[in-house]
Amino acid sequence: MKKLIVSLAVSAILLLVFQSFVFKTAPAPDIPADVNEILKTSCYGCHTQESSSKKAKIALNFDKWDDYKDTKKISKLDAICEVISKDKMPPEKYLKDSPEKALSDDQKVAVCSWTDKEATKLMGGN
């Protein structure tokens, strides 16, 4: 009986560890599914580790999110809302070839309310 409990506990732990490896692809900040979908379509192409644009990766890399200091996270969250609100991102040149990656007004609101919520949380508010 004891053996069974121990082995169950051990496999549960292994499963948890395993999961955290397998599901690593979802980037680190607490991103709701709809926002994640928008970012995946319009932003991850340039702003994740696999991106070929070094400049974009230096400016913002979602795969490195966990390594960012909280102050940098706040700064980047606010920058994300700012650049999409001012139509600076995705870059105009890129949208010429893929106009479907432009964000609609609703999508901008969804992303900005997420960035605002996260930044407020990091600031210690609710």
- Chain positions contacting ligand HEC, by CB under 6 A: 42-43, 45-47, 53, 55-56, 59-60, 76, 79-80, 83-84, 89-91, 94, 103
| 53 belongs to the binding site for other proteins (CB under 8 A) | no
Minimum CB–partner distance for residue 88 and ligand HEC (Å): 8
CA distances from 6 to 1, 2, 3, 11, 19 (A): 9, 6, 5, 9, 20
Q: Which stretch binds other proteins (CB under 8 A): 2-10, 35-43, 104-112, 116-124?
A: 116-124
**Rounded to 5 degrees, what angle do the CA atoms 56, 61, 67 make?**
145
Q: Which stretch binds other proteins (CB under 8 A): 22-30, 35-43, 66-74, 104-112?
A: 66-74
CA distances from 124 to 15, 81, 116 (A): 33, 19, 13
| 74 belongs to the binding site for other proteins (CB under 8 A) | yes
CA distance 66 to 70: 9
**Rounded to 5 degrees, what angle do the CA atoms 118, 113, 107 make?**
130
Q: Output 59 or 122, the one with its CB closest to ligand HEC.
A: 59
Q: Output 74 or 103, the one with its CB closest to other proteins.
A: 74
Q: Which two tokens stand for residue 71?
A: 């102050």
Q: Interface residues with other proteins (CB under 8 A)?
A: 58, 69-72, 74-75, 78-79, 119-120, 122-125
